[in-house]
Amino acid sequence: MAKARVDLPPKGGFSFDLCRRNEMLTKKGIQLPGFRKTGTTIVGLIFEDGVILGADTRATEGPIVADKNCEKIHYMAPNIYCCGAGTAADTEAVTDMVSSQLQLHRYATRRESRVITALTLLKSHLFSYQGHVSAALVLGGVDVTGPHLHTVYPHGSTDTLPFATMGSGSLAAMAVFESKYKEGLTNCRDKCRRLEAELQLAGNCTSAAVRRSPVAEEGSREMVVSRRKRREIASCSSRLHLLREFGEWIRELAREDGIQLVGEAICSGIFNDLGSGSNVDVCVITKGKTDYLRNHQLPNPRTYISSRGYSFDRGYTEVLSTKITPLKLKAEVVENDAMEE
Amino acid sequence: MSIFEYNGSALVAMVGKNCFAIASDRRLGVQLQTVATDFRRIYRIHDKVYIGLSGLATDAQTLYQRLVFRHKLYQLREERDMKPETFASLVSAILYEKRFGPYFCQPVIAGLGGDDQPFICTMDCLGAKELAKDFVVSGSASESLYGACESMYKPDMEPEELFENISQALLASVDRDCLSGWGGHVFLVTPTEVQERTLKGRMD
Q: Which chain A residues have a beta carbon less than 8 Å from that of B69? A: 7
Q: With an 8 Å Cβ cutoff, is B185 touching chain A?
A: no
Which of A19, A310, A321 has its CB closest to that of B152?
A: A310
pLDDT-above-70 percentage for chain B? 100
Q: With a threshold of 0.90, does the pTM exceed it?
A: no
User: How far does the CA of residue A298 sit from the closest CA of chain B (Å)?
Assistant: 17
Q: Amino acid letter at B153?
A: Y
b/e map of A222-243 (b: 16 or more CB within 10 Å)? ebebeeebeebbeebbebbeeb
Radius of gyration of chain B (CA): 16
ipTM surpasses cut 0.95: no
Q: Which of A35, A313, A322 sits opposite B124 (nearest CB)?
A: A35
Rounded to the nearest integer, the mean pLDDT of chain A is 82
In the prediction, which pLDDT does A335 show?
72
The whole-number pLDDT of residue A223 equals 42
Of the two residues A183 and A220, the one the predictor is more confident about is A183
The shortest CB-CB distance from B193 to any of A7, A313, A324 is to: A324
Q: How far is A30 from chain B (nearest CA, A)?
A: 6
Q: Indicate if the pLDDT at residue A214 is higher than 60.
A: no
Q: How confident is the model at residue A236 (pLDDT cuts 50, 70, 90)?
A: low
Out of B70, B143, B193, name the one closest to residue A325 (CB): B193
Whole-number pLDDT of residue A306: 72
Is residue A156 exposed (0-12), middle (13-18) or buried (19+ Cβ within 10 Å)? middle
Higher model confidence: residue A255 or residue B20?
A: B20
Q: Is B203 touching A (CB cutoff 8 A)? A: no
- A121-125, A274-278, B97-101, B151-155: which has the minimum mean pLDDT? A274-278
Cα distance between residue A235 and residue A237, in whole Å:
6
The pLDDT tens digits of the residues spanning A267-304 come to 999 999 888 888 999 999 999 899 999 999 888 887 77
In which band, very low, low, confident or very high, does the pLDDT at A130 lie, cut at 50, 70 and 90? Answer: very high
Active site amino acids of A: 40
Predicted local confidence at residue A39, as pLDDT = 78
Write out the DSSP string of A271-296: HH-TT--S-EEEEEEETTEEEEEEEE
Q: Which residues of B touch A84 (CB under 8 A)?
A: none
CA distance A62 to chain B (A): 11
Q: What is the pLDDT of residues A169-204, one digit of tens each?
A: 999 999 999 988 875 554 555 666 666 666 666 666
Question: What is the per-residue pLDDT across A14-26, written as a single tens digit (0 to 9) for each?
Answer: 888 888 988 888 8
**At A257, is the pLDDT very low, low, confident or very high (cuts 50, 70, 90)?**
confident
Residue A7 CB partners (closer than 8 Å, separation 6+): B66, B69
The C-alpha of A183 sits at a distance from chain B's nearest C-alpha, in angstroms, of: 39
Instruction: Please check the confidence at residue A67 and state whether its pLDDT lies above 90.
Output: no
A16 touches chain B (CB under 8 A): yes
Name every chain A residue with its beta carbon within 8 A of the beta carbon of B200.
Answer: 318-320
